Amino acid sequence: MSKSSPRRRFGGKSTGTVTVIEARVHRSSARNAKVAFVLTAIIVGGLAAVVATSYLHPIVALLLGGLIGVPAGAFVWLLVRVWPVIRLLWWWSTEILLAVVLLTGWVQLANHTSTLVTLVVVAVVVGVPAGIPKVRRLVIAWSWCLIVRHRLRVCFAQFIIANQSGSLPLILWATPTPVGERVWVYLRPGLSAKDLEGRLDKIAVTCHASTVHIERASEGNAAYVRFDIKRREVLNARVNSPLVDVIDPSAPTSASPLTVPTALDLPDVEVPTVTLPTQAKPTAGKKPAPTANGSKPAASSSSDADDDVSDWI
C-alpha cells in the first residue's frame, strides 16, 4: 500500500506526486496495525495456551498458543493496515460496481450479437431514460446522490477538522428527496453535530446547493447524523386543484360587492336582564336578636319601602 506515486518525465526528473492516501492516515494505520498485531497475538495465543494445558504439556501448549496467536495477529495487522484502502474503495463502491456492470454487459452484448443489434440495444438503454421525463429526473436525482457523497468527503478533508489520527467521518449512503438529497454520516471521535452547524454555508457551496441542514438520525447515538441538502423549492410550484372541475361554469356570479367589517355589530344578540334579590321584611312583633355581647343591634336608617336597591343601579 503506497500513499503516493511519483510522476517522472522523460529523462528521470520527478515532477510531483499524486496522493492516494494522506500521510497522516498512512502513519496512523501503520501504528495501529502494530498495536493490533501485538495485542491479538498475546490475547489469542495466551487463551489458546491455557486451553491446551488441559490436554498437553505446558511447554507444548505454549508453543501451540504461539502458533495460533501469531497468524491471528498477522491477519488483524493486515486488516488494519489496508483499512484506508478499503475505505477508499467504499467511497467509490457504487461507481466501481456500475462500471463493472456496464463493461460486462457491453462485452457480452458485443460477443453474442451482431453490430446492428448492439447499436439498437445501446440506443434503447440510453434513449429511454433521456426521452421520458420521469425516468430522466430519476436518473439525475440518483446521479446527484453519488456526486454529493464525494462533495461531502471533500468538505471533511478540506475545512472540517477531523480527529488526531486523520480519520474522516464515514459517509454511509444517500437517497434523493423532493428538494435535493439526504445523506447519512457516521462521525468519528473528535467531531460533533454542533461543530458542523457553523459550517453549513460552506458545505452548501461545496455541494452546489442552496442550503444544508443537519440533525441527529438516532436518539441513542449522537455520532449518527443526517444531512438534508436542498437544491430547489417545491412549495412555490403551481399545483392543479381538482376543485376547479367541480364548479359549474354557467353558475352566475354574485354582483354584490364584498364588504369588509370595520366594527363589531351584533343586533341579534339580546342584552340579558339582571335582577337583584331584595331584602326580606322583618316580621311584625318580633324583636331583633341580641348580639354576642348582649347589646341590641342598631336600628336600620331606612326601611325597605323607602330605599330600593334597584334605584342605585
Q: Are strands 14-19 and 180-186 parallel, antiparallel or unpaired?
A: unpaired
pLDDT for 213-244, tens place per residue? 999 998 889 999 999 999 987 777 676 777 77
DSSP state letters, the chain: --SEEEEE-TTS-EEEEEESS-HHHHHHHHHHHHHHHHHHHHHHHHHHHHHHTTTS-HHHHHHHHHHHHHHHHHHHHHHHHTHHHHHHHHHTHHHHHHHHHHHHHHHHHHHHS-HHHHHHHHHHHHHHHHHSHHHHHHHHHHHHHHHHHHHHHHHHHHTS---TT-PPPEEEEEEEETTEEEEEEEPPTT--HHHHHTTHHHHHHHTT-SEEEEEES-SS-TTEEEEEEE---STTS----THHHHS-TTSPPP-SPPPPP-S---TTSPPPPP-PPPPPPPPTTPPPPP-TTSPPPPPPSS-TTT--GGGG-
Amino acid at 95: E
Amino acid at 176: P
* CA atoms within 13 A of residue 4's CA, in its CB half-sphere: 13
- Is residue 45 within 8 A of residue 65, CB to CB? The reply is yes
Q: How far apart are CA 311 and CA 66, in angstroms?
A: 113
The closest alpha carbon to 181, from 217, 216, 140, 221, belongs to 140
Q: How far apart are CA 102 and CA 94, in angstroms?
A: 12
The residue among 8 and 174 whose pLDDT is bigger is 174
pTM here is 0.59
* CA atoms within 13 A of residue 68's CA, in its CB half-sphere: 16
CATH number attached to the domain at 132-230: 3.30.980.40
Percentage of the chain beyond pLDDT 90 is 32
Place of cell 457480452: 108
Q: Would you say the C-alpha torsion 86, 87, 90, 95 has a positive or negative sign?
A: negative
Report the pLDDT averaged over residues 22-29: 71
pLDDT at residue 273 tops 90: no
Residue 175 makes CB contacts below 8 A (sequence gap 6+) with 145, 181, 182
Cell of 126: 440510453
pLDDT at residue 296 tops 60: no
pLDDT at residue 17 tops 60: no
CATH 3.30.980.40 residue ranges in the chain? 132-230
Look at residue 3 in the predicted model and tell me its pLDDT.
44
pLDDT for 102-135, tens place per residue? 899 888 888 888 888 888 888 888 888 888 888 8
Phi/psi region, residue 12 (left: phi>0; alpha: psi -120 to 50; beta: rest), is left
Greatest Cα pair distance in the chain: 142
Q: Would you say the C-alpha torsion 219, 163, 209, 176 has a positive or negative sign?
A: negative
